[in-house]
Structure 1
Amino acid sequence: MRITVHRAVSSVVCATAALAAVLTAVSPAAAFNQSAYWTIYDASGELVEDVPLTATAGDEVTVRPAVIAEGVTPDPSAVETFTLSGATATFTSATQTDGSFCQISGTTAVCHDPGGPGSTCPYPPGGLGFREGCFALGILPTEQGTVTLTASAAGDAFDPNPVTSSTTITVSSASTAPTVTGISPDSGPTTGGTSVTITGTGFTGATAVDFGTTPATSLTVNSDTSITTTAPASSSIGAVDVTVTTPNGTSVTTSADQYAYTYRFAGFFPPVKNPPMFNKAEAGRTIPLKFSLGGDQGLNILAPGSPFVHPVDCITGAPINNATGAADGSGLTFDSATSTYTYAWKTSKAVTGTCQQVNVRLADNTDHTADFSFK
């Protein structure tokens, strides 16, 4: 009796390299030639080549073993037992094409094979065979590693020696593209250079990080869920998607992977003091709001309606109400010699005795404030 294993072409079990035959020693006194081995056939029953079985964790595979007797009338009481060991895997189904009864329980499948000339199993290579039974075993591996599949056929009246053979299924981890679930910090200046931590999954083996279409200037894979990188410079403000590329693919863009490029605002220049300091000023005077954005960014750097002012508490600096008004002035200018922007804020006499906060909101949607106490 021989035990062979073949697979249908539609099976997701992969054929990738040569697999040596596995022979089981039998009694020298056996009345008939008896051995056990695993081999692979195509759907028509023709021998293709000996190959290893491979699978991916979480994906069901189908293995099709055949039990074939040479020169022996098949025994209707024959029982074939299939077992799984090694990396975690279970049987999901077991069927016999000739209609005999199969039972599965976790890592064991037992089939009662009546045999007979109506079987659809292929002959073993080079053998004179009588086809007994053909089986289809559904196997679900859930762990990376090696699963050992063992087939055992009980002896019969002509030869009591049982036949046992085993082969292995090499299970790889699921090949999934990385995902990005967080960016910290999620903004930085257009000049680049900001150290950014990316969180997500599937980062092992990462080969690239891109901010929009621009590659990051550095990449360190801390773990499968964390990457430290450096944001590259950008020619414009606004949000871009940060993507991670590994051998398994590139992360799909979502709202969680966005990084906002902003102007490089470093605070107001004297004579204006930055928070938490209050500036003392005379109502009705023009106050120069000077700042730099790291170079000439053009004159369209202000958000619509900016700058604007609203009253604040003179002790805590907290807004008194939601009332806001435009900060009147003579407009925005840029001095190329000093790389400085200036907005000349013309204050109103009406703010005498109050405290006001001026907010220069830039086109990148960032707010920059200064507090004033007017006399």
Structure 2
Amino acid sequence: MAAYVDSAGGGGLTLTFGDVVTAGITTVAKLELDDLLLDGGFSSLTDPPLYYDIATTAGFDRELGVEVCVVFDVGNMMPAEAASQHLYHYVDGVWVDITSSSSHGKVCGLTTSFSPFAVGQPGWRFRGFLQPVDNGGTLNAMKAGAAVPIKFGVGGNRGLDILAAGAPSSSVIACPGGTAPDEVEQTVAAGSSSLSYAAGSDTYTYVWKTQKAWAGTCRQFTLGLNDGTTHTALFDVRK
């Protein structure tokens, strides 16, 4: 077994060889944040992000492989997030999910080769919805025919081709009984819906143009992204 302890308090890493055939030297180096490595279809929830480069001159049984385990600080993660981290391995220019087990603050994976490894969560790190839209099942009230800026972040600039096919969409839902809607404080003029990105705030804005025919209904706005996730917000569309 080989072990690496992060002196900065970011966690540690252990390697457990199934069977060592010839002795050698194993090295582990913590990598700095690199956008080329970061954009791998997953988001890093650890602070700072955990990227390691592993190399060895030891000969080992590749059928048994090597177990790589990373211990990390759960920080401000939700319990479900802390227990569902994945371990990724950079192979031939592609990040591969090699996770074999994941628990609160520890994730392990099996590998037969070495190069960069990273701890992350599948999908982009969604930040939103941002004001003027409220989250958490809050009913947002707005006038039919108006346009509202739907603002959100996905952990960086991923271009404007981030929407899933047919997204976003909206559908009629039953208005929640006894729920006091929260007025949308900001609407914008827009001839049609559009998507833009602001680098300064790392924020996407989708201008959602409602229809006057929707007056008197409640609707669910569904934002589908190319990472396979969907995010919803509720609206009370008034006359």
TM-score, with length taken from structure 1: 0.33
Percent identity between matched residues is: 33
CA–CA distance in 1 between the matches of 2:94 and 2:131?
26
Residue pairs, 1:1-375, within 5 angstroms: 189-193=42-46, 208-209=67-68, 217-218=70-71, 231=86, 240-243=97-100, 250=110, 261-315=122-176, 329-375=192-238
Cα 1:230/1:286, change in 2 over 3 Å: closer
| Rg larger for | 1
Amino acid across the alignment from 2:153? S
SS where residue 301 of structure 1 aligns? Answer: coil
| Conservation of the 8 A alpha-carbon contact between 1:238 and 1:262 | no
In the TM superposition, residue 303 of structure 1 has moved relative to its aligned partner by 0.5
CA–CA distance in 1 between the matches of 2:84 and 2:234?
36
In the TM superposition, residue 295 of structure 1 has moved relative to its aligned partner by 1.4
Amino acid across the alignment from 2:174? D
Amino acid across the alignment from 1:299? L
In the TM superposition, residue 261 of structure 1 has moved relative to its aligned partner by 1.5
SS where residue 268 of structure 1 aligns? Answer: strand
SS where residue 194 of structure 2 aligns? Answer: strand
SS where residue 267 of structure 1 aligns? Answer: strand
C-alpha offsets along residues 344-370 of structure 1, whole Å, 9 cap, x if unaligned?
A: 001000100000010001111111000
In the TM superposition, residue 300 of structure 1 has moved relative to its aligned partner by 1.6
Question: RMSD over aligned Cα, in angstroms?
Answer: 4.1
In the TM superposition, residue 298 of structure 1 has moved relative to its aligned partner by 1.5
What are the ranges of 5 or more consecutive residues in structure 2 without an aligned counterpart? 1-17, 20-40, 48-64, 73-82, 102-109, 113-119, 179-190
User: Comparing both chains, which one has the higher relative contact order based on Cα–Cα distances under 8 Å and sequence gaps of 6 or more?
Assistant: 2
SS where residue 208 of structure 2 aligns? Answer: strand
Amino acid across the alignment from 1:301? I
What are the ranges of 5 or more consecutive residues in structure 1 without an aligned counterpart? 1-174, 177-187, 195-205, 210-215, 220-227, 245-249, 253-258, 318-327
Cα 1:238/1:370, change in 2 over 3 Å: farther
In the TM superposition, residue 208 of structure 1 has moved relative to its aligned partner by 2.8
CA–CA distance in 1 between the matches of 2:200 and 2:137?
30
CA–CA distance in 2 between the matches of 1:229 and 1:275?
22
SS where residue 236 of structure 2 aligns? Answer: strand
Cα 1:270/1:233, change in 2 over 3 Å: farther
CA–CA distance in 1 between the matches of 2:208 and 2:89?
31
SS where residue 129 of structure 2 aligns? Answer: coil
CA–CA distance in 2 between the matches of 1:299 and 1:234?
27
TM-score, with length taken from structure 2: 0.50
| Conservation of the 8 A alpha-carbon contact between 1:281 and 1:372 | yes
In the TM superposition, residue 237 of structure 1 has moved relative to its aligned partner by 11
| Conservation of the 8 A alpha-carbon contact between 2:152 and 2:203 | yes
SS where residue 350 of structure 1 aligns? Answer: helix
CA–CA distance in 2 between the matches of 1:333 and 1:273?
20
In the TM superposition, residue 207 of structure 1 has moved relative to its aligned partner by 5.5
| Conservation of the 8 A alpha-carbon contact between 1:218 and 1:229 | no
CA–CA distance in 2 between the matches of 1:267 and 1:288?
12
SS where residue 130 of structure 2 aligns? Answer: coil
CA–CA distance in 2 between the matches of 1:237 and 1:358?
34
CA–CA distance in 1 between the matches of 2:111 and 2:215?
56
CA–CA distance in 2 between the matches of 1:234 and 1:264?
19
SS where residue 300 of structure 1 aligns? Answer: coil
